[in-house]
Amino acid sequence: MIQADLFLHAAYTIFVPMKTPVDIWAELGARLSSFGQDAASREVIARACQKNDWFEPEEIVDAVRSIREEFLSRDKIERWLACYERPATLPSRTVLVVMAGNIPLVGFFDLLCVVTAGHRCLVKMSSKDAVLMSFVIDQLKKIEPGVPVAVYDGATPFDAAIATGSDNANIDLQVLSELKKRGIKTVMGVSNISFGLPARDAVNSAFFVLAMQAGLSCAIINPQSEAMMNAYYAFGALSGLDEGCKEYVAMFAGAAQAKQQPVQTAEYTLYEAIVKGLREQSEKAVKEQLAGKQPLDIINAEMIPALDYVGKGFEERRIFLPQLLMSAEAAKAAFNVIRDKMAAEGGSQSNGIKVILATVKGDIHDIGKNIVKVLFENYGYQVIDLGKDVPPERIAETAVQNKVSVVGLSALMTTTVGAMEETIKALRAAGDFKIIVGGAVLTQDYADSIGADCYAPNAVSAVNYANSLQ
């Protein structure tokens, strides 16, 4: 794979003489300054959320704002480009960028690098984020019709590929196959494909076989890995490279046969379903429990302990990122059922009091915050939900602008509680706010040490504290 930044070493020549890359990106930044504030962009946000139920409107606005602030100001672009030498002449290439859809506009930086370096960018859309990426491409075309960006049609040849999503492996295999056709020998390490996954040898060995089938000439592997060596000998036997399966037989003759375990099915509790990341089972379990239990009792007894377990497991590397995301989705599905139930039962009339809720910078877990949000709204509070991974300065600015009296901060991982302390300092410097903190890793002692006014071990205690201030 080719890293996006490498393209900045290419020729700094622009495709159309009228506008420089700096001009184009700066103008795009200016156009995006009103994103989320006008009817047209709000309609784009709504369609994007329909395509991906992981997206929330505030998250999309945050993503666009971050891109605009970090990448699309003229001074930042010029400082960035000044770090790279610009050769006088290098041929322009066609580069395929495979977009991911798990985060709004996650592949935008790759597109920016390719175009800025003077290359043509083919965009392979993710079905989960096609709306937002199409919107950005349309804006670029309006700024400069000749900008070399096009949606990939599946047939146009390309010189290189950058994969930012779940198609990484397929792109690698396509490249290997094309190089084989051209008679070019290849060497590749195969282990990075499994980064962040449990049981990595299982993924690595499967990809190793696919890569050899696609034409990989030489692989960099761990010869001490039983799974990798098994895959190597099995491929040789099946592909005909191991004539008469001599090497395979010599390797495995006399090996004990593994006993196949029967497939078992089971019903899961809500706790178990969340821990295992089973969305449908979570929905089923919570519906059954709602027949005889109060929503908040279910949240406190089942959902929060499950999320605490998953969060701690992730930090201790017993649970891996895909499992974490699956558990979050399962919890979200269950929580949506509970939220609908509470909404149907109705809540209190608005008391006119504004409350800010946010998951602090660096932390992407918001189920706990969302639970607190629903309870606050049920008690009549006007909640300003800033979402997750929120910088301290934004929380402080929003608190001042909206004249709120209470700010609730959430963090799940120990690695992000430092950001909570920074946020509290920013809030203290900005004004007089009552600050509630909560999350699986927090304790009363730690809350006291960072200057919080209230430590809330659960949603009920957070609301009770806010009620006590009236």
Per-domain residue ranges of the chain = 4-166, 173-251, 270-345, 354-468
- The arrangement of secondary structure in 270-345, i.e. its CATH architecture, is Orthogonal Bundle (1.10)
User: Can you tell me the distance from the alpha carbon of 44 to that of 53, in angstroms, rounded to the nearest whole number?
Assistant: 14
Euclidean distance between CA atoms 225 and 221, whole angstroms: 8
pLDDT tens over the chain, length 470 residues: 334 444 443 333 334 445 788 899 999 999 999 998 888 999 999 999 888 877 888 889 988 998 998 889 898 888 888 877 766 667 788 998 888 777 788 888 889 989 988 899 999 888 888 899 999 999 999 999 989 999 998 888 888 877 655 566 777 788 888 888 988 888 888 876 765 566 778 888 899 999 999 999 988 887 778 888 999 999 998 988 888 888 887 787 655 444 445 444 458 899 999 998 888 899 999 999 999 898 878 887 888 788 878 877 876 777 776 777 788 888 888 888 988 887 777 655 667 789 999 999 988 777 778 878 878 887 788 999 998 889 999 999 999 999 999 999 998 777 788 899 999 999 999 999 999 999 877 889 999 999 999 999 888 889 889 989 87
The separation between CA 199 and the C-alpha centre of its own chain, rounded to angstroms, equals: 21
Compute CA distances 157 → 11, 13, 123, 256, 450, whole Å.
21, 22, 13, 49, 56
What is 354-468's CATH topology? Rossmann fold (3.40.50)
User: In sequence order, which ranges of 261-302 are alpha helices (DSSP H)?
Assistant: 270-276, 279-290, 295-298
- For residue 22, the one-letter residue type is V
The two structure tokens encoding residue 70 = 């970090």
Judge if pTM exceeds 0.75. Answer: no
* Per-residue pLDDT reduced to its tens digit, 378-427: 778 899 999 888 999 999 999 999 999 999 999 877 778 889 999 999 99
Q: Work out whether strand 406-410 and strand 434-438 pair parallel, antiparallel, or are unpaired.
A: parallel
**Two structure tokens written together for 292:** 């005889």
**Total Cβ atoms within 10 A of residue 446:** 16
Measured distance CA(420)–CA(391) in Å, rounded: 10
Cα-based angle 77, 80, 82 (whole degrees, multiple of 5): 110
Q: Which of 52, 45, 70, 331 is nearest to 165 (CA)?
A: 52
Cα dihedral 93, 99, 105, 110 sign: negative
Q: Which tokens hold the place of 448?
A: 């006291």
